[in-house]
Structure 1
Amino acid sequence: MSRRLEPQDLYAIKLVEDPQIAPDGERIAYVKAEIDRQTYDYHRSIWVITVDGTQGRRYTAGDNDTTPRWSPDGRSLAFLRAPAGEVKPKNEDERDRGIAKAQLWVLPADGGEARQLTRAREGVGEPEWSPDGAFIVYSAEVGEPDDPEAEDASLHDRRVPAVRTIDRLWNRFDGKGWIYERRSHLFRIAVGGGEPEQLTDGDWDDGSPAFSPDGRQIAFTSDRSEERWSWPANDIWVLDVPTKRLTRLTDETVYAGSPAWSPDGRRLAFTASPRRHEDGYTDLMVAQADRPGSVRRLTENFSPTFADTCIDDQRAFHGSPHLYWSPDGARVYSQAAGRGATLIYAAPSGGGIPRAVVEGQCRVYGFSMDRERRRMALAISDPSTPGDLFVQGTAEGGQTARLTDLNDELFRQVELARPEEFSFTGAEGWDIQGWIIQPSPHPNPHPQAGEGKSERPPAILEIHGGPMAMYGWSFFFEFQLLASHGYAVVYTNPRGSTGYGRDFSAAVSHDWGGKDFEDIMAGLDAAVARGWIDPQRLGVAGGSYGGYMTNWAIGHTDRFKAAVTMRCVSNLASIFGTGDLDWILTIDMMDGVPWKNLDWLMDRSPITYVEKITTPLLILHSDRDLRCPISEGEQMFTALKLLGREVRMVRFEGQSHDLSRSGHPRSRVIRLRHIVGWFISHIRTEVIRPKGELARAGAAGE
């Protein structure tokens, strides 16, 4: 008999990450990610499996091995190895060797001893092989700390508070902290060993390296514009390795993703979005490798955006898509997100309508292709699959074959609910996509569950962050958890969401709390009108922009019996200057600054309407959230407490904006317990838990 999904089941979830198919297309290396329940550490190991799924084994022995990359001849595998938990160097020698950071290793493909190639003080990333297999290029940070004595104090068992002197606007980044002290540059190292050679330098960051087919050039991303510390972005640059000559191909108006060379070495493909005034759309572009200003957009009127913008709670941001050219240079393969699905498309390199190569109701969150572009290794999630490995041929009509089922044991015990897609009419008659997850049948209902039972279940309206992102056909633990406890879950993609074309995603700009709110409420109204949910038992929840909209909703309607706001925005004036990139929100997204447009920003700030809030509110916020600083949640908590309203705040120490996706495992589980416990305590469900049980378990982190 199946049981109900519980918050602690998150500890059992295993995921496939970064699938890399060998050049000959016969084997796939991938990362298996899981949680060590005893230490609360994330463990990652590299596995290799044949494409027919008959032979699979663990390939590396480390506890945090990632980023597998096959050599061009398929005889070696490069990867990054780092400690699984927090490791602090004991002395200057350990610090300088980077023992606490990710380092580059190489391992024979058929087994043998792994060799460590780098010992960089700040660690390394983004390894890429040269075409002849003789070198590996990578990125690494260089530079001195602002306050060396304070940084090194722990090496001598002392505590010295740092004193920071800051003279640039962009100086922090969520999930990382201070970024103004060091710069990321490109290095190359011989596979046989030796000292690395630094290839780039300067007061800017270089990354995403890609060798040209002849190995003489390296394309990479870098922002060397005058605006790099105020409106950060990336251009495409080309380095001629023998002469060190540099060429910038883009015009400093775009935010470019990782470049990919055409087979003849004459063109580069990359994705790009606007540097300023983001419209939520990422284009696929091509440029002549030797001609600045030759950039062509391939995807002018294509609705899916060329980025994986699908949101779930199993993985954080994955960067720009890795692009692949067909052997004849006629097509470029890329991920693109549209109508709730992230799929693989083949776009004609001369322009034209892209063709879906991998289809279905799913999220392809990682992929790679073999040398001849005959096969693809795919990391796929769908509503019943947190993240597994698949393989598919590129020929038309190719079938996707599943190679792993990492969560089979867990899902034999619990029953998952399947989302049902629906559409409805939003503001101005726009067609909007949404989903509803109906509550799972409870295997052992409480004896009181039948008393006063409604034919229609209670429902939680979930609102996604971004706002330029999308809900879709991916596994969402939080949604399944709510469904297993008796709640329907309604979630939609209102205007501002990605995947429906440039105009749709751009429509939210300068209008937070306007027609986007109308769209969201119209989706809820549609679910009520179709008889799916009980209009008297409604809750609302959301994070980031979804937290803003949760706050906004309960300040403009009393329809909800309970609300959960996470990593929220409450005041569009006070967030200015307190986060890592908040000036972009107020200036580009809301067209205002506090000293000129205070009335406008406050008019669209949920805190302005706090006196109207009567809905019991749970506030979840991380104290190291630099994207939406914790002061945003504190303002809501303080105001509601002073007004005598029901409010509770849960603070997560040491966690960032991505708590729900990649935060400390124990904190993630406790977060889930608070969410479901809050709704159970305020909205009757046919699944009744003894009072206090969830709170006690949550406090213990069990």
Structure 2
Amino acid sequence: MASTPFDSLEDYISLPRIEALALSPDGGRAVLTVAVLKKDGTAYGRSLWSVPADGSGAPKRLTRSAKGEAGAAFTASGDILFVSARPDADGEADDESGQLWLLPAAGGEARPVTRLAGGAGQIAATADASDRIVIGADLLPGADSLEADAKLRKLRKDKKVSAILHDAYPVRFWDHDLGPAESHLLAIDVDALEDTIAAVVAEADAARTDAESADDPGLAADADAAAVEDAGKPYPSTLPRPRDLTPTPRRTVDPDQVALSPDGSTVIASVRVSEQRDGRYALVAVDVESGTQTFLLDEDEVDFEAPAISHDGSRIAYIRTPRSTPEGPADSELWTAGIDGAGPRRLATGWDRWATALTFDHDDDALVATADSDGRGPIFRVPLDGSAPEQLTHDDFAYSHVRVDRSTGDLVALRSSWIAPSHPVRVARDGTVTPLASPAALPAVPGSITEVETTAEDGARVRAWLLLPEGASDAAPAPFLLWIHGGPLASWNAWSWRWNPLLAVARGYAVLLPDPALSTGYGLDFIARGWNSWGGTPYTDLMSITDAVVARPDIDETRTAAMGGSFGGYMANWVAGHTDRFRAIVTHASLWALDQFAGTTDSSVYWQRIFTAEAMEEHSPHRFVRDIRTPLLVIHGDRDYRVPIGESLRLWSELAEHHAEADGSTVHRFLYFPDENHWVLKPQHAIVWYQTVFAFLDEHVHGKDWERPELLG
């Protein structure tokens, strides 16, 4: 059997990873963000690489620093912007916040663009015909200027204060606390950078004067010096001063939901309109010069998101989604309107897919969108004239980071599948795909992949990917692992570094990746089959496709296991309480008691809105704890705020209550990560995660002795 990087967990985590792509204004080159494992094996460092966008040439590394770089974007002039915590020669020596940097297209070293006390968050949007950009940055609510923000941050740091006062819901999100800082949108004119000796000297003189004022009591007594001290250290005059477009944002602004007009004059943003402990999303236009905000599209019980602006600046496109209720899921609709919100019109009314990202085509006559579809993630072209969408790619890949080459109409994107991690490609107008040069070669993978399907008890088609290990045959059937996806509004269609079935395939397992009811990419009716009934059709779909696959002669139906995370963990718990057909079950970051979960998750109102109280009780796995006969491996991170640790703590307590031996021993196990979140991301923790999972499966599927991973002590 040929060796692959998936045979060794250490080799696997060492594989370089392409995380993002940006395209130059002339369409000539793509810049990739590449993550590589650091020498000590405990974290990933990131750098930027340039590759020709026509499929020729070789990759060229652009950046190199101990802190790494990410979030690349191009200015209209072709300069490259990125965010990095690399040292700034003119900044504070102990400042480790990420700042915005610029790498000139004409050559030369990168230089800082911001020196914000709380750091630059991410590049929200850039203009096509102006060197104005918009970034996200966190500012404290008690500060009315950049200087005041820096002063308040220093005061909290000096006094070692971490307390947060909340006056609105929610208080945390996924894996981090919200507050005390709030996300703002800041506009920056990059062409205002003063990269001259005179500007540097002037700033140095100002800094020296401030220092002398602080050290000399006589000077400090001066009213002007006191005023400067009270206001805080001035923002650097050699850098373009960011303009705050959202001076009182509260928790309404998401930098991922921002578009900037080609001339840089108007920002279109999806902002949260608070509603008690809930909120709807509206589209707002911000005039960059005046800061005036105008609501363009806002409806009760409707969200407006994912704004995009046409290349000529005349139109916007967006996704309109009415609120779902227990009666059923709402559709996700594509709309377009004038840049002022006038004349809104729905597109692709008969298209039964949900766009995951969208941008305008090169000629502004259509939208280019990605969407889950039948276990893949193709690119679609959606005409603005109302005609039917055209599927542009027809391979077995999922596409992301789709960028339009304005000069040719071709697209440059990343694509991946379950046997190929993200890699850059060019997509011609006719759908022809050309791989680009890449600094991260595609790794050899174990086994093979095939598509399987069955007919569910209600007549619906249920499909899945089946990954088979080398050597699986009628004479040597492979043990079976059912791997259930999270979401639940999701699909097994794209590579995941975190949930990678090839690691199980390399250890001899046949891995089934099914899309049961509630999965995306099969139409609204398919989602509705499992709505308000998580333990109903999603469960029977999983059992139906499992029945079909274990009936294959190359699968050993006597050696089976199941696993899942998040919603997949919910389903793993549900499976455990409703069948004993599996020898082992792994449940990661799982929902256990729905009434408890709905009130403790980071966004409780959504879960309470999509379930009836009766369904939440009926489909809660905790009710069936006494029926569990299969050994469970419970896994959870304490910094998981989407599915709080209380779910697994209660599951573990109730497993012990009902199934522990008299001496307290149990066949179940609980792997706990005090400093990990929903996914468990630290490289060595990922190794421990997989080591524990495979040791648990070896014990119960193969009957081997339990082997405790060394790093667990």
Name the TM-score class by shorter chain: 0.7 to 0.9
Instruction: Note if 1:361 corresponds to 2:396.
Output: yes
Report 1:136-175 matches (<5 A).
136-144=133-141, 155-156=157-158, 162-175=162-175
Report 1:307-456 matches (<5 A).
307=356, 321-327=357-363, 329-393=364-428, 395-404=429-438, 406-408=440-442, 411=444, 415-441=445-471, 455-456=476-477
- CA distance in 2 between counterparts of 1:145 and 1:509 reads 43
* Structure 2 residues not aligned, in runs of 5+: 144-148, 194-238, 661-665
Report 1:82-481 matches (<5 A).
82=85, 94=92, 99-124=95-120, 125-144=122-141, 155-156=157-158, 162-179=162-179, 181-191=181-191, 192=193, 193-202=239-248, 203-206=250-253, 207=255, 208-223=257-272, 225-227=273-275, 230-252=277-299, 253-277=301-325, 279=329, 281-291=331-341, 294-307=343-356, 321-327=357-363, 329-393=364-428, 395-404=429-438, 406-408=440-442, 411=444, 415-441=445-471, 455-472=476-493, 474=495, 478-481=500-503
Structure 1 residues 177 and 281: CA distance shift in structure 2, 3 A:
farther
One-letter code aligned to 2:123: E
One-letter code aligned to 1:80: V
One-letter code aligned to 1:678: F
Report 1:533-682 matches (<5 A).
533-585=555-607, 587-592=608-613, 600-643=615-658, 644=660, 645-659=666-680, 663-682=681-700
Shift of 1:397: 4.6
- CA distance in 1 between counterparts of 2:374 and 2:563 reads 22
User: Does 166-175 or 399-408 show the bigger shift?
Assistant: 399-408
Is residue 699–residue 706 contact of structure 2 (8 Å, CA) maintained in 1?
A: no
Report what 1:73 is aligned to: 77
Aligned residues with identical type, % of pairs: 26
- The structure number with the bigger radius of gyration is 2
- CA distance in 1 between counterparts of 2:366 and 2:26 reads 20
Q: Deviations over 1:84-133 (max 9, x none)?
A: xxx9x9xxx95xx9933321111112421111011122222124333443
Structure 1 residues 674 and 35: CA distance shift in structure 2, 3 A:
same
- CA distance in 2 between counterparts of 1:386 and 1:397 reads 20
Is residue 186–residue 209 contact of structure 1 (8 Å, CA) maintained in 2?
A: no
Is residue 138–residue 209 contact of structure 1 (8 Å, CA) maintained in 2?
A: no
Is residue 440–residue 485 contact of structure 1 (8 Å, CA) maintained in 2?
A: no
Structure 1 residues 35 and 650: CA distance shift in structure 2, 3 A:
same
User: Does 622-631 or 258-267 show the bigger shift?
Assistant: 258-267
- CA distance in 2 between counterparts of 1:184 and 1:176 reads 17
User: Does 359-368 or 398-407 show the bigger shift?
Assistant: 398-407
Structure 1 residues 369 and 80: CA distance shift in structure 2, 3 A:
same
Shift of 1:405: 6.2
Structure 1 residues 281 and 484: CA distance shift in structure 2, 3 A:
farther
- CA distance in 1 between counterparts of 2:494 and 2:103 reads 36
Is residue 144–residue 181 contact of structure 1 (8 Å, CA) maintained in 2?
A: yes
Residue 411 of structure 2 aligns to a residue whose secondary structure is strand
Residue 575 of structure 2 aligns to a residue whose secondary structure is helix
Q: Deviations over 1:10-45 (max 9, x none)?
A: 321212222112122211111111221405122111
Report what 2:507 is aligned to: 485
Find runs of 4+ consecutive structure 1 residues off by over 4 angstroms: 144-156
Structure 1 residues 437 and 397: CA distance shift in structure 2, 3 A:
closer
Q: CA RMSD in A?
A: 3.0
2:32 to 10, 30, 33: 30
Q: Deviations over 1:382-429 (max 9, x none)?
A: 222222122232x21533224226145x53xxx422221011111311
1:53 to 53, 56, 61: 56
- CA distance in 2 between counterparts of 1:543 and 1:110 reads 47
One-letter code aligned to 1:634: L
User: Does 179-188 or 650-659 show the bigger shift?
Assistant: 179-188
Is residue 323–residue 330 contact of structure 2 (8 Å, CA) maintained in 1?
A: no
Structure 1 residues 575 and 535: CA distance shift in structure 2, 3 A:
same
Structure 1 residues 233 and 324: CA distance shift in structure 2, 3 A:
same
Is residue 457–residue 487 contact of structure 1 (8 Å, CA) maintained in 2?
A: yes
Shift of 1:692: 5.6
- CA distance in 1 between counterparts of 2:439 and 2:488 reads 32
- CA distance in 1 between counterparts of 2:367 and 2:481 reads 41
Is residue 174–residue 625 contact of structure 1 (8 Å, CA) maintained in 2?
A: yes
Structure 1 residues 564 and 281: CA distance shift in structure 2, 3 A:
farther
Is residue 562–residue 616 contact of structure 1 (8 Å, CA) maintained in 2?
A: yes
Residue 338 of structure 1 aligns to a residue whose secondary structure is coil
Is residue 140–residue 187 contact of structure 1 (8 Å, CA) maintained in 2?
A: no
Structure 1 residues 299 and 121: CA distance shift in structure 2, 3 A:
farther
2:13 to 2, 11, 14: 11
Structure 1 residues 624 and 150: CA distance shift in structure 2, 3 A:
farther
Is residue 271–residue 282 contact of structure 1 (8 Å, CA) maintained in 2?
A: yes
- CA distance in 2 between counterparts of 1:33 and 1:280 reads 37
Shift of 1:620: 0.7
Shift of 1:296: 2.4
* Structure 1 residues not aligned, in runs of 5+: 308-320, 443-449
- CA distance in 2 between counterparts of 1:66 and 1:11 reads 19
Is residue 370–residue 377 contact of structure 2 (8 Å, CA) maintained in 1?
A: yes
One-letter code aligned to 2:345: R
- CA distance in 1 between counterparts of 2:671 and 2:532 reads 31
Report what 2:203 is aligned to: none
Residue 257 of structure 1 aligns to a residue whose secondary structure is strand
Is residue 11–residue 37 contact of structure 1 (8 Å, CA) maintained in 2?
A: no
Q: Deviations over 1:241-273 (max 9, x none)?
A: 344333222224433333222233221012343
- CA distance in 2 between counterparts of 1:401 and 1:65 reads 24
Shift of 1:564: 0.2
Residue 518 of structure 2 aligns to a residue whose secondary structure is coil
Count of residue pairs the alignment pairs up: 642
Residue 32 of structure 1 aligns to a residue whose secondary structure is strand
- CA distance in 2 between counterparts of 1:609 and 1:145 reads 50
- CA distance in 1 between counterparts of 2:251 and 2:186 reads 11
Is residue 459–residue 534 contact of structure 1 (8 Å, CA) maintained in 2?
A: yes
Is residue 388–residue 405 contact of structure 1 (8 Å, CA) maintained in 2?
A: no
Report what 1:315 is aligned to: none
- CA distance in 2 between counterparts of 1:665 and 1:239 reads 41
